[in-house]
Structure 1
Amino acid sequence: MRLLPVRPVAPHPARRAGTALLLLTTLLAVTACGSGVASDGPRTTTPSAQTQSPAPSPGADGGSRVREIVNRMDLAQQASSVVMGNVPGTDPASMRVMMSGGFGGFILMGSNMPGTPEELHAMTAALMIDPSLPPLIATDEEGGDVVRLPWDDQPGADVLKAQPADATRAAFAQRGQLLAQSGVTVNFGVVADVAGSPESFIYDRSFGTDPAAAAERVDAAVRGQAPWVSATLKHFPGHGAAEGDSHHMIPSTGMDLATWRAQVAPPFLAGIRAGAPIVMMGHLAYTAVDAQPASLSPRWHQILRDELGFQGVIVTDDLDMLVDSGDAAYADEVADAVRSVVAGSDLVLALDGAGPDTAQKIADGLVAAVHSGALPAARLSDAASRVVALRLDIADRSR
């Protein structure tokens, strides 16, 4: 998504994921998954998913709620439910018209931000078509260079990386509360990337160059927000090792998987263990693992599921960034969306790069892909189920 600096020139322990979300560890059969153990050499000391405590057993009621909702959906409704869209501007009526299409979520960008929390709350209320199954209302509120709420004065990673981890937890607790008070339920705001150096593109937005220190602060950021919003870890598998601005290119690295486990993976694993329910896939190519971007890579989705043990919602970064890379292989945003869901993503970000009806075009493309056999129907149902489970979890949290 467009994550260039947007700050205006003028001016508790992590709660367990809700029953509906936890049921997915047993309810869903994840596609494109095989063995999570790589064969590229000895393990590093990075903990694997097998060392984690098992997730609590899901309740039958939560499982039945997800199944009932997804089973009632026709193919077009399932496709719409895995798309998060956007319309520019601050007109609540326009936003409500878009969300009447059954989309799974709405991302608030800089152009959507009004001047006061009250105005923003009126906008988010307009997005709420069905309060019993609320959409995912998201923004990317990192602090520092990336701030959407003009009234968020809490520090970001540029400052927090030099302070004790408790400061990160306190800042993100305040940030999460501000978002929740405005009706935002998802924050794409935890940068889990380990910067390669202070000169790295991602350095100011990351928690630094040391994997252990970054992991401690990612854990704190997730736990601080947990009572208020659903935190998102980004940009998996890690922007720091793949240098360059992914808004305009496909950053790549030849780093092997063993090195990645030791130097890049720890903050993502820490955030997952802290309870983050969403991970964002970056448009980043680790060519020793897969030549294509991670957002389109079945292998990286498999590693995230099987090796790191993540069972929540996998979301793509803005698909328009792939188009803007200039690589002809990624010039079709609808085709990119299909490839990402086939690879294992559950939610696709569809902004307005392909025109005002981008979200609907992508949903239609997913339906067509199922009919053609390019996208297995079970994979789409799996993605819809994960998104629905998170939406139900948010509904439960708001009670």
Structure 2
Amino acid sequence: MIAGLALASAPASASTHDTVRVGDVRSAVSASGTNDHAAALVSEMTTAEQAASIVMGHIPTTDAAALHAYMQQGIGGFILMGANIPATDDELRALTAALTVDPALPPLVAIDQEGGIVSRLGSDVFPASTGLKSQPVADAEAAFSARAALVAKAGITVNFGTVADITADSTSFIYGRALGTDPQTAAERVVAATEAQEQVIASTLKHFPGHGAAPGDSHQAIPTTGETLDEWRATDAVPFVAGVDAGASLLMFGHLAYTSVDPAPASLSARWHEIAREELGFDGVIVTDDLGMLQSSGIPEYSDPVRNAVSAVVAGTDLVLMIAGSTPDTAGQIVQGLTAAVDAGSLPADRLAEAATRVMSLRLQSMSATTDWALCPECEPVG
């Protein structure tokens, strides 16, 4: 454990009162002990409760009471989008606190805080991928240390913030968000970002197996590439392998198709889940990108978010994320769909239990972390 970690990575223009210090960071709890505890808790759940525990939902409001009522359906997580961010830091902390229904088992609270192009927190003035891709690796470490501090201070436990995609094509929609333009430079910065964030929050690598090779924007289509598995291993896989080895807690699967590997989007592909587990050795939580994006593709096969969620979990996903088009009823509908799939035999009960156990383990790990926030006037900002 690293205690008293000073996160003094603010830009030179920031005041020292913008700098914070972490007292205690994420606890080095025995992985086997946490997993055993998670498995025991999951074994006592009904099928519907297990299903609810692997859903990360969203509704666009800053009404803390409405958010608390929404979370009473027992879902395992919530993602904060721009419409959830109130005017002040105190209001944000009150809002994230309201997401907890059972203080003994808080949900996962997530955010897309990449910095720069994708940034939900206005106080994040730290360097982002647009500059970091051409700056020293140490700058990426400093920036993501500070970014993780802001996220954790807000009561958020998961950052979907590390873009491991690579591309040298400046016209690609992912170019401005990628941390590198080639496998090696991207991998170095992904490792720095992962190790910095994992000190205080659960970090996420995205968008597996990599947007760079597949032209198009997955918010409105299914980007497709003919890149072979061997070509992928030598290029687009490199930052993901490095990030997994660096200890990333989550791996987000993209809605993109490598047709030589599987014609289905990776998020719904059993083959890509197998590759992540067996080749990369990833044993953390696999999360889908927003399932609403599949609907937005306009492809009839992906028009039903409930069916998409079931397909993703059958393929090997642990946590299903739903944002675009989500209403207060959507998460419950997904829970019902997952439960019905188990009852019908199309979703094996042990697959659901496995997913619920991984998500539960991450929740236990996140709640075991203790953080003591204080202004750090003696810390000197780094320019």
TM-score clears 0.5? yes
Question: Would the alpha carbon gap of residues 268 and 16 (structure 1) be closer, same or farther in structure 2, given more than 3 Å must change?
Answer: farther
Structure 1 counterpart of 2:381: none
Given that 1:141 and 1:187 are in contact with CA atoms closer than 8 Å, whether structure 2 keeps it comes out as yes
What is the deviation of 1:19?
A: 4.0
**Match for residue 73 of structure 1 among 32, 45, 58:** 45
Within 5 A, what are the aligned runs for 1:49-128? 58=32, 61-128=33-100
- 1:216 pairs with 2:188: yes
- 1:268 pairs with 2:268: no
Given that 1:18 and 1:396 are in contact with CA atoms closer than 8 Å, whether structure 2 keeps it comes out as no
Given that 1:154 and 1:175 are in contact with CA atoms closer than 8 Å, whether structure 2 keeps it comes out as yes
What is the deviation of 1:71?
A: 1.1
What is the deviation of 1:64?
A: 3.3
Question: Would the alpha carbon gap of residues 64 and 208 (structure 1) be closer, same or farther in structure 2, given more than 3 Å must change?
Answer: closer
Distance in 2, Cα, partners of 1:135 & 1:175: 21
Unmatched tracts of structure 1, length 5 or more:
1-11, 23-57
Where 2:59 maps in the other structure, the secondary structure is coil
Structure 2 counterpart of 1:289: 261
How large is the RMSD of aligned CA atoms in angstroms? 1.5
**Match for residue 175 of structure 1 among 143, 147, 170:** 147
Given that 1:352 and 1:358 are in contact with CA atoms closer than 8 Å, whether structure 2 keeps it comes out as no
Distance in 2, Cα, partners of 1:133 & 1:124: 14
What is the deviation of 1:353?
A: 1.3
Given that 2:180 and 2:189 are in contact with CA atoms closer than 8 Å, whether structure 1 keeps it comes out as no
- 1:154 pairs with 2:154: no
Structure 2 counterpart of 1:166: 138
Structure 2 counterpart of 1:347: 319
Where 1:398 maps in the other structure, the secondary structure is coil
Given that 1:83 and 1:103 are in contact with CA atoms closer than 8 Å, whether structure 2 keeps it comes out as yes
What is the deviation of 1:227?
A: 1.7
Structure 2 counterpart of 1:252, one-letter code: T
What is the deviation of 1:209?
A: 1.6
**Match for residue 380 of structure 1 among 348, 352, 355:** 352
What is the deviation of 1:247?
A: 0.4
- 1:320 pairs with 2:292: yes
- 1:357 pairs with 2:333: no
Question: Would the alpha carbon gap of residues 307 and 342 (structure 1) be closer, same or farther in structure 2, given more than 3 Å must change?
Answer: same
**Match for residue 304 of structure 1 among 262, 266, 276:** 276
Question: Would the alpha carbon gap of residues 261 and 147 (structure 1) be closer, same or farther in structure 2, given more than 3 Å must change?
Answer: same
Question: Would the alpha carbon gap of residues 208 and 199 (structure 1) be closer, same or farther in structure 2, given more than 3 Å must change?
Answer: farther
Where 1:342 maps in the other structure, the secondary structure is helix
Deviations 1:237-290 (A, max 9, x none): 000101111000000000000000011011001111111010000000000000
Deviations 1:14-40 (A, max 9, x none): x898546x3xxxxxxxxxxxxxxxxxx
- 1:144 pairs with 2:116: yes
Distance in 2, Cα, partners of 1:294 & 1:134: 30
Deviations 1:336-388 (A, max 9, x none): 00000000000000225153311110011000000111100000000000000
Structure 1 counterpart of 2:78, one-letter code: F
Given that 2:290 and 2:324 are in contact with CA atoms closer than 8 Å, whether structure 1 keeps it comes out as no
Given that 2:27 and 2:369 are in contact with CA atoms closer than 8 Å, whether structure 1 keeps it comes out as no
Structure 1 counterpart of 2:238, one-letter code: P
Structure 2 counterpart of 1:339, one-letter code: S
Question: Would the alpha carbon gap of residues 79 and 276 (structure 1) be closer, same or farther in structure 2, given more than 3 Å must change?
Answer: same
Distance in 1, Cα, partners of 2:257 & 2:78: 27
Equivalenced residues, count? 348
Where 1:231 maps in the other structure, the secondary structure is strand
Distance in 2, Cα, partners of 1:64 & 1:336: 30
Structure 2 counterpart of 1:225: 197
Given that 2:27 and 2:370 are in contact with CA atoms closer than 8 Å, whether structure 1 keeps it comes out as no
Unmatched tracts of structure 2, length 5 or more:
1-21, 372-383
Deviations 1:113-162 (A, max 9, x none): 11221111000111122233221100000011001001111121111111
- 1:393 pairs with 2:356: no
Given that 1:87 and 1:352 are in contact with CA atoms closer than 8 Å, whether structure 2 keeps it comes out as no
Structure 2 counterpart of 1:279, one-letter code: L
What is the deviation of 1:319?
A: 0.3
- 1:184 pairs with 2:184: no
Given that 1:244 and 1:251 are in contact with CA atoms closer than 8 Å, whether structure 2 keeps it comes out as yes
What is the deviation of 1:390?
A: 0.3
TM-score (norm 2): 0.88
What is the deviation of 1:196?
A: 4.4
Given that 1:133 and 1:391 are in contact with CA atoms closer than 8 Å, whether structure 2 keeps it comes out as yes
Structure 2 counterpart of 1:116, one-letter code: T
Structure 1 counterpart of 2:255, one-letter code: H
Structure 2 counterpart of 1:87, one-letter code: I
Distance in 2, Cα, partners of 1:97 & 1:356: 10
What is the deviation of 1:63?
A: 3.8
- 1:253 pairs with 2:203: no
Identity, % of aligned positions: 54
Write out the 4+ residue segments of structure 1 that deviate beyond 3 Å after TM superposition: 15-20
Question: Would the alpha carbon gap of residues 255 and 352 (structure 1) be closer, same or farther in structure 2, given more than 3 Å must change?
Answer: closer
Distance in 1, Cα, partners of 2:54 & 2:293: 19
Given that 2:183 and 2:239 are in contact with CA atoms closer than 8 Å, whether structure 1 keeps it comes out as yes
Distance in 2, Cα, partners of 1:323 & 1:196: 29
